Amino acid sequence: MSKSYRELFILQGSHLFFLIPLLLSVYIQIYWYMFVISIMLIFSFLYHGTKEKLFSQIDRVCAISLIVSNVVLCLLGALWSVHFLLVCVLIPTSFYFLFKKDRYYWNHSLWHIVSAYICVFSLLTYFVGL
């Protein structure tokens, strides 16, 4: 496998981490959040696989929608919980990887992974606050 295919495989594979919050949202019956993650996953996968400009714009809108959804979950949840503390720690970590320009495929994959865990801990912040 050539380096470019290996890097693309790693980047696309990092989307699998979003299955954790997707399944968790189904388990705790937050179906609107499941929908947001599903749409984000589809368009992010399409964008990173094709680099089409249209998919790039939709991918950005989906990422922003997911960020807003996480903020809503946290605000409606238990801000005193350890889960919210983890969200607060992971946010700057995720942006560090997003804006790091060298080794794009590796760093952007880490952005996906850390973002998926932000989603998990945002869901748990909400769930603990019920």
In this structure, is residue 3 part of a structural domain?
Answer: no
Nearest residue to 119 (alpha-carbon basis) of 54, 73, 81 = 73
Assessment of whether the complete model's pTM goes beyond 0.75: yes
In this structure, is residue 2 part of a structural domain?
Answer: no
- For 85-107, what is each residue's pLDDT tens digit? 999 999 999 999 999 989 999 99
Nearest residue to 123 (alpha-carbon basis) of 37, 45, 4, 63 = 37
In this structure, is residue 1 part of a structural domain?
Answer: no
In this structure, is residue 24 part of a structural domain?
Answer: yes
- Which residues, in sequence order, are CB contacts of 14 under 8 Å at separation 6+? 108, 109, 110, 112, 113
In this structure, is residue 5 part of a structural domain?
Answer: no
Domain that holds residue 63: 10-128
Q: How many domains does the chain have?
A: 1
In this structure, is residue 117 part of a structural domain?
Answer: yes
In this structure, is residue 101 part of a structural domain?
Answer: yes
Cα separations in angstroms, 58 against 2, 85, 88 = 29, 30, 26
Instruction: Please give the biggest Cα pair distance in the chain.
Output: 49
- For 35-58, what is each residue's pLDDT tens digit? 999 999 999 999 999 989 999 999
